[in-house]
């Protein structure tokens, strides 16, 4: 049977353990690549300013930090939505490849953010907005580090996971995932954590990662990606 809608099913302890082991492995992989890439770029000269002048006039939208931080929620339901071990394996492989490709890009295109430091951004807000959103914006800025910009790994990992879910979703599920994805992509720029090229590159990488998560790594005779066929495999 082809699954057409995401269904929450309580996982067996074995399935949950398998997911947690893979989640830990992906998290370690992410930590090594993300922290390592930032460290290397911090000690390199000639960092790129990969943004257009008009981007520096994009305002900080403090409330978009909600969408930005929501990325951490998308992996929580994975073992409840991906009911087969092979589905979890595919998502882990896809995320691992996305992280690897992003890490190579961080080293190949060392970049520097053009937006002002977060402290300066917050100083321009009215006191009530700064008090309400300041702690969350500072946390997001801390977690994002400084130099891992092209592509936005934040966007790429979210879109990869959303793509894995979307291939099992009905219309409503895909609309929700699409709106959530759009909010996350926009939030990376509107919270001044990334520039447009970072978000676009992350989106492209995430779309590819979502296809890997749905199809697996084996090549098939089909030239075009089809979520339904991937779900039937």
- What are the residue boundaries of the structural domains of the chain, listed by start? 13-232
End-to-end Cα distance, the chain: 10
What angle do helix axes 13-42 and 153-166 make, rounded to 10 degrees? 160
Residue 6 has a pLDDT of 58
pTM of the model: 0.89
Q: Give 37-87 pLDDT, tens digit per residue.
A: 999 999 999 999 999 999 999 999 999 999 999 999 999 989 988 888 899
Other CB atoms within 10 A of residue 223 CB: 5
**In angstroms, what CA-CA distances link 56 with 49, 138, 161?**
11, 19, 30
Residue 223 has a pLDDT of 34
Residue 218 has a pLDDT of 42
Put residue 8 in one of left, alpha, beta given phi > 0 → left and psi -120 to 50 → alpha: beta
Residue 217 has a pLDDT of 35
Secondary structure (H, E, C), 195-208: CHHHHHHHHHHHHH
Residue 34 has a pLDDT of 97
Query: How do the pLDDT tens digits run along the chain, 233 residues long?
Result: 344 455 667 888 999 999 999 999 999 999 999 999 999 999 999 999 999 999 999 999 999 999 999 999 999 989 988 888 899 999 999 999 999 999 999 999 999 999 999 999 999 999 999 999 999 999 999 999 999 999 999 999 999 999 999 887 788 889 999 999 999 999 999 999 999 999 999 999 999 999 999 884 344 344 344 564 554 44
Residue 219 has a pLDDT of 40
């Amino acid at each position: 049977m082809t699954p057409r809608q995401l269904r929450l099913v309580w996982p067996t302890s074995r399935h949950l353990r398998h997911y947690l082991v893979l989640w830990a492995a992906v998290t370690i992989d992410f930590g090594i690549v993300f922290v390592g890439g930032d460290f290397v770029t911090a000690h390199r000269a000639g960092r790129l300013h990969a943004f257009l002048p008009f981007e520096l006039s994009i305002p900080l939208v403090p409330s978009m930090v909600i969408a930005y931080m929501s990325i951490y929620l998308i992996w929580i339901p994975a073992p409840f939505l991906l009911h087969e071990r092979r589905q979890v394996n595919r998502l882990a492989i896809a995320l691992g490849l996305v992280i690897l490709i992003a890490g190579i890009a961080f080293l190949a295109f060392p970049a520097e953010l053009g937006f002002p430091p977060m402290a300066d951004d917050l100083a321009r807000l009215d006191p009530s907005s700064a008090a309400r959103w300041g702690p969350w914006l500072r946390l997001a800025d801390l977690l994002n580090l400084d130099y891992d910009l092209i592509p936005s790994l934040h966007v790429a990992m979210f879109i990869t996971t959303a793509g894995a879910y979307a291939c099992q979703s009905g219309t409503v599920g895909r609309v929700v995932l699409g709106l959530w994805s759009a909010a996350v992509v926009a939030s990376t720029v509107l919270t001044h954590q990334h520039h447009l090229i970072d978000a676009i590159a992350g989106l492209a990488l995430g779309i590819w990662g979502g296809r890997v998560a749905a199809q697996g790594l084996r090549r098939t005779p089909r030239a075009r990606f089809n979520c339904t066929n991937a779900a039937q495999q």
